[in-house]
Structure 1
Amino acid sequence: MRRLPAGVALGVVLLGGTASAAQGAVNAALGERAGSPVLGAVVNNLGGTLLVLAALAVLPSMRAGLAVLRRTRPPWWTYLGGLGGAAIVVIATYAVPVLGVAVFTIAQVAGGSLGGLAVDRAGLAPIGRFPLTGPRVVGALLGVGAVGLAQVGRPLGDLAPGVVLLAAGGGLAVAVQTALNGRLAAASTAAAGTLVNFLVSTPVVLGVALAVGGFAGPPPAWPPTWYLYTGGLLGLGIVVSLLVGVRALGVLRTGLALVAGQLTGALLLDVLLPGGTGLRLPVLLGALLTLVAVLVSGRGARRAVRVASATRPADDGRLVG
């Protein structure tokens, strides 16, 4: 998978973050109308899986990417990135009603920022190992503060410590997901990495839905509104944007850029949708401050990449140097 320039990759991730905001809205609405919150996650993952399988049937390039994976044989644990995606989808389904959107989002971003620092330091991402520098720590803290600012005025739920930690764990899981999927894509193609992500995450989401009784009782009241079923398509865009971003920016900056896109997307939804809250200054300032966090955390990035050049993944998936 070819590495794009950092500026281009940043733009792609911002678009992915905007898609993530729309995905969260349609999945929540679908689950509410269908009668079970987890059904939105099920439709999301099934839709994404079906789209990727359809692409596998018609695109020789995707089949070629899988052939490369079979030939290079990355270590088994690099295939587990989809578990992080399944984790955050399931955690959000049950944590948001308890914590409220504001607290959940702050906890998730805090976990993702800490996870991004740790994953980049360990060198799990295909770009290599980044040292733990002052600008990167400041950028991570700025990102959390920006999200906190964006949530000003939103209602708070029950500040249950266990659920807050669970939400932070979901953010950490996404950081690991980004790194592992990026390694697979670097070893083959973005399409192959996306396929593996959905093939791993979808059975887990289905299993959780069965375990919590998502399919029990009367049949779901599936709404006829077509756009409520676009979560899978949006999810494809999000996964691909993360694969592009992690190759050029590393996990921390990719996560922060995704958050900036999410806040921008939320702002657009509030302004454009009927019944929206309109322009909210805290969200606008939060989005701008998150972009500042992306820039701050990138200071010294060239030096960090040179340090990481001796620790890029070897063919067997281990770090050398």
Structure 2
Amino acid sequence: MAPAHRSFARRRLLTATAALCGAALLGGTAHAAEETAWPDAFPLPNGWQPEGIAIGSRPYAYFGSLAHGDLYRASLATGRGTVLSTGLGAGHPTVGLKADPYGRLFLAGGDSGELRTADARTGEVEKVYAVGATFVNDVVLTPGAAWFTDSYQARLYKLVLGRHGAPQGVESVPLSGDWVQGDDFAANGIERTPDGSALLVVDTVADGGGLMRVDPRTGAARAVDLGTARLPAGDGLLLLGRTLYAVQQAQNAIDVFRLNASGTRGTAIARITDPRFRIPTTAAAWGNRIYLPNARFDVEQPQPDTEYDAVAVRQV
């Protein structure tokens, strides 16, 4: 994120469960024909200040608001949407978010230091966990937990999930090994490795911006070998099979890597740019498209009439 916006400088994408089961598999070839008529850009409410996006098992995108934590749901087929719910107010932003297969949203609460869950149908906040974090940035779902990053502390938060994804309680997992925290913003987007054995976390400080493979049992981090590629503006991560999409928000680009199964190495295979990018932050997939909100962090003082939108690009 741009230094001038460090309070919301961040991450933030799609869960392996929702992305693979919902978007990649259900929304694949079977939907290709109808998607050709779907909009590849659509507006979000003025003044919304989007950052995160989630898509579940149906073609609807959810967007959180940095302004007040509100939730907005838009149809990918039409681009039309509605404010699903109002948030907890100023000081309680919604940054990264993910949707699970059970009708639940997991919300990263930014500088409120909160982890939240909400009903995906109504947007109603169900549970709030105050974890004492300095900036809860992004979230990814694994079979037994929702994992959240903290951008200003070297730790992850593990929200343990029980039957049907019901939240059970929070554990703090300190980061060690190759992790570099520095004095400023570090952790951003988070994903799983292709084989599901570990977590992948953007570390914007390490070696000019890199990707860390984190052991979820111990928090030990090891730098992923990306060759000469760096992620200085790395934000949201999206994993589809072994292809990792890393949003480089301030660079208005998505860098695409081919990972090995364990996520220890990655090869840069493409860079996606688009003139419609206005500092995109996170990504989610449906069919053969990737959807991103334009956060517009170059707008120093967003106003109620500041325009925002979401755009779609083709997968590599």
If the length of structure 2 is used for normalisation, what is the TM-score? 0.30
Structure of higher CA gyration radius: 1
Indicate the structure with greater helix content.
Answer: 1
What is the TM-score of this pair, normalised by structure 1? Answer: 0.29
